[in-house]
Amino acid sequence: MHPAPAFPHQAGCYVISLRPSGAHDALRHAANRMRMRMFALSPWRIVQRDDDATRAALHAALNADLVVFTSPPAVAATHVLQPLVARDDQAWLAVGAGTARALARAGVANVQAPLRMDSEGLLALPALREVAGRSVGLVTAPGGRGVIADALRGAGARVHRADVYMRVPTPPSPTRIAQLMALPGPWVLPLSSGEALQRTLDALPAEAIARLREARVLAASDRLADFARDAGFPDVVRAADARPASLLAAAAPSQGA
């Protein structure tokens, strides 16, 4: 097993990206600004859903009292299916700043988003504190943000969930795994999705998992930090939020474990 590398500085280390296929640009640009290098290790690709059941679910979600989007891909997939128009009597919410920006580009203004860009931060927004008897539309993907739907139902909301895209697994090829194993350290692993990390671990051979666990995990939330530690990663630090620049800033030695 390779010895865990020290982090004398950020520059030159490899950023292992678990973003979906074709969605690495924002993290790559942030890495370039910090003189880091990036290696894409996508656990899945995003596929648009377009069928009668999806359209019906989306119609119900977008007509709810409160409308919640969980990711920029959810906004993009919805915009393909229909224009986004917010009624005056609705509140539209996003799980983070990136999703709020995507909604603004799609024509929805005054979107509420938490400073703490995760499920817990979203649920703490004033608009979601008293939801008993109200309808909440949740625009998302299968397997995503289950904690939000469960918490809203537990608080008495009527949840209308619309899964507008799918995550199709893209297990790494033997060639890609060999390229990963050949990367020099140190590595950092930005973590904004527990599901992405779990799928990656499920797809890698034991020796690649052992090497990946030497990376410093840059977790977007306390929940994800705990998830990474439970998954066997000893070097985990908490980033300020899920934005690429914030995640990579946590690699600085002053923020190390």
Backbone φ and ψ of 113, nearest 5°: -145, 145
Same domain, 63 and 155: yes
Least confident of 1-15, 35-49, 123-137: 1-15
Q: What is the pLDDT of residue 93?
A: 96
Residue 245 lies in a domain: yes
Whether residue 80 contacts residue 149, with contact meaning beta carbons closer than 8 Å, is answered with no
In a domain, 2, yes or no: no
Give residue 4's pLDDT band: very low, low, confident or very high (50, 70, 90): very low
Do 66 and 119 lie in one domain? The reply is: yes
Q: What is the pLDDT of residue 242?
A: 83
Domain at 37, CATH number: 3.40.50.10090
Q: Which domain holds residue 205?
A: 14-43+170-255
Flag whether pLDDT at 176 surpasses 70.
Answer: yes
Which CA distances in Å does 149 have to 34, 97, 157?
37, 20, 9
9 assigned to some structural domain: no
Residue 61 within any structural domain of the chain: yes
Same domain, 187 and 84: no
Same domain, 104 and 123: yes
Q: Which of 167, 190, 221 is the last residue of a domain?
A: 167
Does one domain contain both 135 and 211? no
Task: Let me know if residue 64 belongs to a domain.
Answer: yes
pTM: 0.81
Q: Are residues 63 and 139 in the same domain?
A: yes
Domain boundary among 124, 147, 167: 167
First to last CA, the chain: 21
Same domain as 63, residue 151: yes
Least confident of 18-22, 192-196, 250-254: 250-254
Q: Are 76 and 84 in contact (CB under 8 A)?
A: no
Is residue 210 in a domain?
yes
Q: Is residue 134 part of a domain?
A: yes
Q: Which residues contact 245 (CB under 8 A, 6 or more apart)?
A: 30, 33
**Do 119 and 179 belong to one domain?**
no
* pLDDT given for residue 147 in this prediction: 83
pLDDT in tens, 79-120: 999 999 999 999 999 998 889 999 999 999 899 998 877 788
* Structural domain count of the chain: 2
Which value, to the nearest 10 degrees, does the dihedral of the CA atoms of residues 66, 224, 243, 175 take? -120
Same domain, 163 and 174: no
Q: In terms of domains, do 106 and 191 share one?
A: no
Residues 66 and 39 in one domain: no
**Residue 8 preceded by cis peptide, ω within 30:** no
Check whether residue 250 and residue 148 sit in a common domain. no
What band does 158 get if pLDDT is binned at 50, 70 and 90?
Answer: very high
Q: Look at residue 75 and tell me if it is in a domain.
A: yes
Residues of the chain above pLDDT 70, percent: 93
| Domain's final residue, options 135, 167, 199 | 167
Instruction: Please tell me the predicted confidence (pLDDT) of residue 126.
Output: 93
